[in-house]
Structure 1
């Protein structure tokens, strides 16, 4: 006979697992809002589940969340095809760096099929065995090994080649903010790599370049124009921290909206600047 259930106890058990489940959902989808929706649906299914059939709550819920994400990714792919300008994941701002899945790696994951992405994340990032991965994505273990191997090949170049010291990373982000807002082009140029690129996500909701801006000279021209706007209209630093594993900062711009800037650093130079301006992707930061 199945023991009597307590809704409060079930909810408490779910809440204890929520941070782990959130990590899975966000890394699958690249959207904080969509991850929250997935967790809400998972909670409903958890409360309705037959406890006698649930031997390992964490494994059960991880499977539920992953499968819901796989379904969500089908519609998300169609939406990305019509997205205006570069697409960047919703920024997660942390005081400490999380190195398992950085922003460049999340962008690389976007090129994978949903099941490749799931197999790679569950095995390579979250450390699950292929037997458990197979149960989750509903493929046999050999197929899951192949999925993860293909994914690994695609994302290998996105793995960080240089470990940036945390304090050095934050110091560079703060120096970049100061130079870019004051218009100190000499100081700014000294921080940038020759193959620097800017990727700005406005989503058609706020002004942003519709294509990546690549190369030192092109980036410096853009920064000069932006510096003039910053000096005239202002840009307020709210906090520095790690944005999707990269050093960066959150600002309030002249239009009153938030903005995040994340810096990819290699060998002491900034090689990529990722700017999220789409207000839909910044709501959770308020």
Structure 2
């Protein structure tokens, strides 16, 4: 289907004659067009709502840390892109740290992440985080069993300290089915504009699926707390998932259940 922005979609949606013409010319499929319009309309409404909440957070000086974890190709980057699209960039940052340098590897494990925590009135999005040590590192034996156990022991206490100090921590884990992951990884290989997303570890995501599952289950069970629960979201349908993520964030930041959360969302606390 041809791509349209929200204004184009709205104009076409409100004019049945244009819809019929575009369908006749095989430019759009009517059902897909209507679904796309409704998605874009709801997405924009939620983005606008989050933008308004951000202004309140800036005024109050509230610090917010949003952690995005998930399996490879689960949609972390794309979700963050939609969420931050209309936020004030002066008070919203995305942090995606590369492999630690040699000197960083000698530091306390959390040290390089703490340097990126939010300042007053700021939202910080971790596109992967210190939770690498809970899943990716043990899966590929990048850390020792002792380091893994030390992390599991420390992380809940550390996040509870942040909570006590007034920081809001929202931890999101994006789940994906094995079949959907396989299809997305293959799509990345085939599409030139997405090939940069394919990393050496991605190649083994399918092969090591059971090992990943073991450590993911342990992480969701051992590092969730009442103050800082994990929110797991199934992302096989990207559009539904993105809307769900926005609703979860808005509900948490507004401290109201303004939006009904779909069944693809599961709380671990």
TM-score using structure 2 length? 0.29
**Bigger relative contact order, structure 1 or 2, given CA contacts below 8 A and separation 6+?**
2
